[in-house]
Amino acid sequence: MIDRLVAHVLGLEVRLLACQARLSARTDPEALHDLRITVRRLRSLLRPLRGLPGVEQLEAAASGVGALTTPLRDREVLAAYLLQHDQLQAAQRRMAQMAEAYPAVAKSMELAQLLMILDAFPRFLRAAQRQELLKGLGKCIEKRLAKQWKKLDEALHDPAHDRHRLRLLIKRVRYGIEAYPELDRLPKAAMPRLKSAQGALGDWHDCWQWLVRAEQEADLQPCVAVWKTTMAEAEQRADRVLDKLDKACFKP
């Protein structure tokens, strides 16, 4: 298992370096998104390893890159929506901002710090292995993944559930499964249901976020009425998908 873990870490490092190069070139509209997905996969890999040497520092560095890129990705998604819906001036204004942001992320202190710590992390794992600190690691990870699933179960059955929190919990469970597929003990229906729920909640979250922005950014006002309608529809769709997830994957 340690060999697979080290290989996974090295693979994520290679992907991050590739994303950094793509951001520097400013030619790839998916580079920022791929960077964020790679960082999210890294954080999902690390979460069950908490307590091991080097994990805390690596988690903090990954969190820093996440915080740096979240508002940029939000702007990028909004610009794409505006372009698709013929709000050309509003879209171009944000796209011009993004053209400057891409190389800034590539050169950022946050990304440099993450890459530096990530490069050293396999050595920490091997040192911990030699010191026999990793005995029973598989069972420990399995327990922590089960705990994430239990939290999602509880949140789904909370009558006052928070869609924001549900979205984050679904992401954690989904990416946790993908980080440790050999430890997957979930029902077969889990992964497609989780993906559907994440997508539905993502649509709702986009509209909610854009409506908040429209209060401060006047050029978004033409979209407000559509976003309110779309958000209401997305809420209903998300509730239906969450109900299917509950019935397929959780015992009554």
Going from N- to C-terminal start, the domains of the chain cover: 1-135, 137-252
* Residue 211, pLDDT score: 96
Q: State the residue for tokens 């950094």.
A: 20
Low-confidence ranges of the chain (pLDDT < 50): none
Question: Domain spanning 1-135 has what CATH number?
Answer: 1.20.120
- Cα 62 from Cα 36, distance rounded (Å): 10
Tens digits of residue pLDDT in 183-216: 877 778 788 888 988 999 999 999 999 999 999 9
* Residue 28, pLDDT score: 85
- Cα 208 from Cα 193, distance rounded (Å): 23
Would you call 218 exposed, middle or buried from its count of C-beta atoms within 10 A (0-12, 13-18, 19+)? exposed
Tens digits of residue pLDDT in 47-56: 989 888 889 9
- Cα 94 from Cα 97, distance rounded (Å): 5
pTM attached to this predicted model: 0.90
Q: CA-CA distances (angstroms) from residue 151 to 75, 101, 194?
A: 31, 36, 14
Give me 132's structure tokens: 């026999």
CA dihedral 11, 145, 159, 161 (to 10 degrees): -30
Identify which of 13, 30, 14, 31 has the alpha carbon closest to the alpha carbon of residue 22: 31
CB 182 within 8 A of CB 54: no
